[in-house]
Chain A
Amino acid sequence: MKHLPKSIKRIWFMMSIINLMGNLVILGAYFLAQHLWWSWLPDWGIIIWVTISLVIFVVELALIPYRYAVYQYAVYPTEVEIKKGFFWRRFSAIPIARVQNVDLQQGPLLRFQQLYRITVATGGSNHTIEALSHEQAVTLKDQVMALAREARNDQ
Chain B
Amino acid sequence: MINKQHLHPFALLIKVGFLFRDFLPAVFGFVFLRQYWQIWLILPIVLLMWAGLDYYCFTYEMTDKELIVNSGVIIKQQRHIPYKQIQNLQRRQWFFLEPFGVETLIVDTGAKEKDQREVTLLAVSNVVRMLLDFNSSEPTDLTQLPVEPVKEMKKSTEYKIGFKELALYAMTNPDILGQFLFILVISNHLGLTDIISNASDTLVDHVSHYGLVAILIVLNVIILSLVVVNLVRVMLRFYGFMVLRQDNLLTVQRGLIQKSILHVSINRIQSIHIRQNIFRQIFGLVTVELDLIADATKSDEQKRVTLIPVISQDKVYSVLKEFLDYPPEQAPIINKGDWYTSWLFVRNALVGVGIVAMAMAIFYHGFWYWVALMPLVILAIIFGWYKGYYTGVNRYDDGHLALRTARQLTNDTALIGWHEIQSMSVDVSLLMVWTKRANLIVSVRSGNQVLRLRYRYLPTQEVEAIFKWYREYV
Residues of A participating in the B interface, judged by any CB pair closer than 8 Å: 78-79, 81, 86-95, 98, 122-125, 127
Contacts and interface: CB of A to CB of B under 8 A. Distances in A.
A90 B471 contact: no
Contacts of A122: 422-423, 443, 450
Given A92-B423, A93-B423, 10 more contacts: A78-B474, A88-B430, A89-B428, A89-B429, A93-B424, A93-B470, A93-B471, A98-B422, A124-B445, A125-B443
B443 A89 contact: no
A89 B428 CA distance: 5
Interface of B: 293, 421-430, 433, 443, 445, 448-450, 452, 467, 470-471, 474
Contacts of B293: 123
B422 A90 contact: no
A91 B425 contact: yes
Given A90-B425, A90-B427, A92-B423, A123 B450 contact: yes
A88 B431 CA distance: 9
A123 B426 contact: no
A47 to B, nearest CB: 24
B450 A93 contact: no
A125 B427 contact: no
B429 to A, nearest CB: 5
Contacts of B470: 93
| B interface SS class | strand
B471 A79 contact: yes
Contacts of B452: 125
B429 A88 contact: yes
Nearest to A95: B423
Among A81, A89, A98, A123, find the residue whose CB has the most chain B CB atoms closer than 10 A: A123
Given A79-B471, A93-B470, A124 B426 contact: no
B426 A90 contact: yes
A121 to B, nearest CB: 10
B430 A124 contact: no
A110 B418 CA distance: 36
A124 B449 contact: yes
Among B433, B448, B471, B474, find the residue whose CB has the most chain A CB atoms closer than 10 A: B471
B449 A86 contact: no
Contacts of A89: 427-430, 433
5 contacts: A86-B430, A89-B427, A98-B423, A123-B293, A125-B423
Contact of A87 (B429, B448, B449, B467): B429
Contact of A93 (B430, B449, B467): B467
B429 A91 contact: no
A95 B421 CA distance: 9
A69 B427 CA distance: 17
Contacts of A92: 423-426
A91 B438 CA distance: 11
Contacts of A94: 422-423
